[in-house]
Structure 1
Amino acid sequence: MHSIKLPSKPLSSPHPILNLSFRLFFSAAALFAVATMLLWAFVFTGHTDIDAQVLNPLYWHGHEMIYGYALAVVAGFLLTAVKTWTGVMMPHGYKLLGIFVCWLMARLSWLAFGLGVAIAGSSVWLLYAAALFDMLFIGAMAFVICRAVLQVKQYKQMGILAKLALLTLGNGLCYWGIISADMAITRVGIYLGFYLIIGLVLTIGRRVVPFFIERGLSGNGTDNVTLRNSKIQDIASLAFFFAFFMTDLFYPNKYLLTITALGVAVVNIIRLLGWYNRGIWQKPLLWSLYIAFLGICLSFLLYALQPWLGYQHSIAMHGLAIAGVGMMTVAMMTRVSLGHTGRSIHQPPRTVNVMYGLMVLVFISRVLLPLVDMSHYLAWIMVAQSAWIACFVLFCISYLPMLTRPRPDGLFG
């Protein structure tokens, strides 16, 4: 006798935003990007009661940009992409909501700390609560990804899992430094998290940027667009980047910093040249990714030159943050959100050009203009903050409706 396989129960969730992680986490990341930058503008100008004796306000900003905003985008992307890579269904519905609530509670605790809220006479309790929820969030995300990868034996994905483990370590160091009143440890935790995020961007970008360019140019009058990655470039990029971040974080020798940063820049510029196709300039979803990667390369050049030209280290660091985190995540979210909600990647909202232009303005105002005119440094920062906020407000207006509604084709996703 033949066994009869009954059809499995159709996937469902209480609301479309809980269908897949990209919907919930991209929406939350965009809203958080607006809220946290608005609050940072007040913290930066001294208009809040943040307890600077507990935590340096600069580290408050750095932590929330990395472990708040960037990690939300990473969660949205990975918990969606791993489903595609492995074929294993990722958390949706209330399970996804549970992971998200951990992220949300940590962010609310940090926002309250930034506002100067105190519990039992001290604001440090808010950071204890944030530590608990942050560890639960990263731990849950790493667990479901690890389970899926091991289930199908895709061991090539273990590098991403290793980076998630190190991100957990970096965040733990941040909280350890806060609890022990050691700002040096907190700094290590923040920079470790930052460079790990950049490492993830370089790793994932190496895969998806050429893939998106190939897909985006199909049917655009360009036949057989094939972009190849070189294994030698992959190894060289990884080796130079690892040496760079170890040097910058633990052994700030100007000769090593210049050599390693220049190595990362040159390898990835060569890679960009291999990815180039003039058709990308007709597709904002493509040129945005390309410009973001170019901004990363330029930022590494700024790191290489900084010891010799004497400008602030933070200029190069912010260049890498804006290009590698800000520009790249906006470019990825605008493209992924279209494809995974069943909409055409060839017909993005008209606002995307403005969004990308605003993010380029953030880079120019926060990184390039201070290099030539430090006398208006505060003004350049305020312009950059305003452009950042405007970019994500436009994202919310254009993309939240599609992220919170069912797919037009009726499929689950």
Structure 2
Amino acid sequence: MQTINMPTKRPTSPHPILNLGFRIFFLSAGIFAILSMLKWSHITFATKFAFDPLTQIMPFYWHGHEMIFGYGLALIAGFLLTAVKTWTSQPMPYGYKLLIIFLPWAFARIIYLANGIQINALTMLAGFFDLLFWLLTVFYVVKPIYKVRQKRQIGIVVKMSLLLLCQICFYVALANKDLVLMKGSLLAGFYLIIGVVLTIGRRVMPMFIERGIAEGGEVVHKVKNSDLLDRLSLFGFFAFFVCDIFLTNFDWAKWLIAVSALVVAVANLLRLKNWHLPQIWRRPLLWSLWLSFFGMTVGFVLFALAPFGLISHSLALHAVSLAGVGLMTLAMMSRVSLGHTGRSVHNPPKTVALIFICMVMAWLVRVLWGWFVPSLYFASLGIAQGFWIMAFLLFVISYAKILASPRTDGLFG
């Protein structure tokens, strides 16, 4: 007798914002990017970075933590809790299960915004929520990958696990007032996020460009990748990661830092050459991705100069972060939010170009002005903060309805 398989029950969630991970995390990360930068602006100009090491977090470290483990991990969670479904064909958390992953992240961010740079019981409570959020995220990302034995995702799994270790180290350092460990954990966390950005960017950039300039649905221009450039970028970045975190006390290591940073820069410049097509400049969703990689590449050139005192390490770090964590994530969110809600990536909101221009301006002011006119450091900082806030304000205004509405094609997701 023939067996008839009944169709599975259609998934449901209490609200479309909980249909898939990208929705709630992208929108919340956008809102948090505005609030945290407003808070950072207040801390910047109210304290001039003065702090009591016994009762307060160094302001730079507060800012670094919230950008890396607040904003950055929210973006990674939103992306992976969505992309892993495509990679593995396995269901990902939605509805109340997704809400349980999200709430610890939200509680931690509320505490950090309200508590500022103070170290107290609330800070440790925020640490509990931070670790719970990331443990849940890692579990739900690793589970389907392990189930289908998808070995090619091992790099992502390793980076997520190391990010958990960095979080633990940060809170251990905070409890012991260990500024050296605190700085190291934040720097390692930042580099791991950039590693994730480079990995995911390499995977999706060629596809996004090919489909973004497709004519009548047909791919007419192929974008090539290079295994050699992939290896150069990977090993160069790994060497830079190790040297810039663990070997900076050795004078001879500055040459290793410079060479490894240059290897990353050259490999990604050549990647950009392979990915460049004139048509991308007519499409903001494409030129924003290309420029974000270019900005990171410039940042790695600056990292190569920093060990010799030609530029500050902080300036190089912000060149990479504003491009890779600022512009890249805005570009990815803007595109993914359209594609995964059934909307055309060829018809984005009219504000997208302005969103990306604001972030490019933040990069130019923070990096170039900060480099060439150091006497106006605080002015450049304030203007860059303003452009960052404007970029994310426009994103939230433009995409809130899209992210909170059902898919246009009637599917669940």
Judge conservation of contact 1:50–1:113 (CA < 8 Å) in 2: no
Q: Distance in 2 between matches of 1:221 and 1:340?
A: 17
Q: Distance in 2 between matches of 1:355 and 1:344?
A: 18
Q: Distance in 1 between matches of 2:309 and 2:117?
A: 37
2:239 alignment counterpart: 243
1:101 alignment counterpart: 103
Deviation at 1:313, TM superposition (A): 1.1
1:275 alignment counterpart: 275
1:209 alignment counterpart: 205
Q: Distance in 2 between matches of 1:124 and 1:366?
A: 32
Q: Distance in 2 between matches of 1:385 and 1:220?
A: 41
5+ residue gaps, structure 1, are 117-122
Change (3 A) 1:214 1:170: same
Judge conservation of contact 1:43–1:50 (CA < 8 Å) in 2: no
Matched, 1:354 2:354: yes
1:86 alignment counterpart: 88
Change (3 A) 1:391 1:52: farther
1:55 alignment counterpart: 57
Judge conservation of contact 2:210–2:219 (CA < 8 Å) in 1: no
Q: Distance in 1 between matches of 2:243 and 2:267?
A: 18
2:388 alignment counterpart: 388
Deviations for 1:177-217, whole angstroms, at most 9, x for unmatched residues?
00011111111110110000000001110000111001101
Deviation at 1:235, TM superposition (A): 1.2
1:326 alignment counterpart: 326
Q: Distance in 1 between matches of 2:5 and 2:211?
A: 36
Deviation at 1:112, TM superposition (A): 2.2
Q: Distance in 2 between matches of 1:84 and 1:11?
A: 16
**Stretch deviating more after TM superposition (89-98 or 153-162):** 153-162
2:68 pairs with one of 62, 66, 75: 66
2:24 alignment counterpart: 24
Deviations for 1:32-70, whole angstroms, at most 9, x for unmatched residues?
000000000011112699765331111000000000001
Deviation at 1:220, TM superposition (A): 6.8
Q: Distance in 2 between matches of 1:221 and 1:143?
A: 37
Matched, 1:11 2:7: no
Amino acid aligned to 1:331: A
Deviation at 1:147, TM superposition (A): 0.9
**Stretch deviating more after TM superposition (16-25 or 221-230):** 221-230
Amino acid aligned to 1:78: L
2:215 alignment counterpart: 219
Deviation at 1:311, TM superposition (A): 2.4
Q: Distance in 1 between matches of 2:146 and 2:184?
A: 31
Q: Distance in 2 between matches of 1:239 and 1:113?
A: 40
- Secondary structure at the aligned position of 2:94 is classed as coil
- Secondary structure at the aligned position of 1:173 is classed as helix
Change (3 A) 1:183 1:115: closer
Within a 5 Å distance, the mapping from 1:10-409 to structure 2 comes to: 10-46=10-46, 52-53=53-54, 54-114=56-116, 116=118, 123-219=119-215, 224-252=220-248, 253-308=253-308, 310-409=310-409
Q: Distance in 1 between matches of 2:408 and 2:153?
A: 32
Deviations for 1:104-138, whole angstroms, at most 9, x for unmatched residues?
1111121122175xxxxxx4211211111111111
The percentage of counterpart residues that share the same residue type is 48
Q: Distance in 1 between matches of 2:52 and 2:167?
A: 20
| Number of matched pairs | 407
Q: Distance in 2 between matches of 1:73 and 1:126?
A: 24
Deviations for 1:130-189, whole angstroms, at most 9, x for unmatched residues?
111111111111111111011111111111000000000011111010001111111111
Q: Distance in 2 between matches of 1:76 and 1:60?
A: 23
Relative to the length of structure 2, the TM-score reads 0.96
1:119 alignment counterpart: none
Deviation at 1:96, TM superposition (A): 0.1
Deviation at 1:237, TM superposition (A): 0.7
**Stretch deviating more after TM superposition (290-299 or 143-152):** 143-152
Deviations for 1:283-321, whole angstroms, at most 9, x for unmatched residues?
110000000000010000111122335322100011111
Judge conservation of contact 1:174–1:186 (CA < 8 Å) in 2: yes
- Secondary structure at the aligned position of 1:45 is classed as helix
- Secondary structure at the aligned position of 1:407 is classed as coil
Q: Distance in 1 between matches of 2:356 and 2:218?
A: 24
Q: Distance in 1 between matches of 2:142 and 2:164?
A: 14
Change (3 A) 1:136 1:329: same
**Stretch deviating more after TM superposition (103-112 or 175-184):** 103-112
Deviation at 1:221, TM superposition (A): 10
Judge conservation of contact 2:58–2:117 (CA < 8 Å) in 1: no
Q: Distance in 2 between matches of 1:337 and 1:4?
A: 37
Relative to the length of structure 1, the TM-score reads 0.96
Judge conservation of contact 1:361–1:384 (CA < 8 Å) in 2: yes
**Stretch deviating more after TM superposition (39-48 or 174-183):** 39-48
Q: Distance in 2 between matches of 1:90 and 1:126?
A: 32
Q: Distance in 1 between matches of 2:254 and 2:229?
A: 24
Q: Distance in 1 between matches of 2:315 and 2:216?
A: 39
5+ residue gaps, structure 2, are none
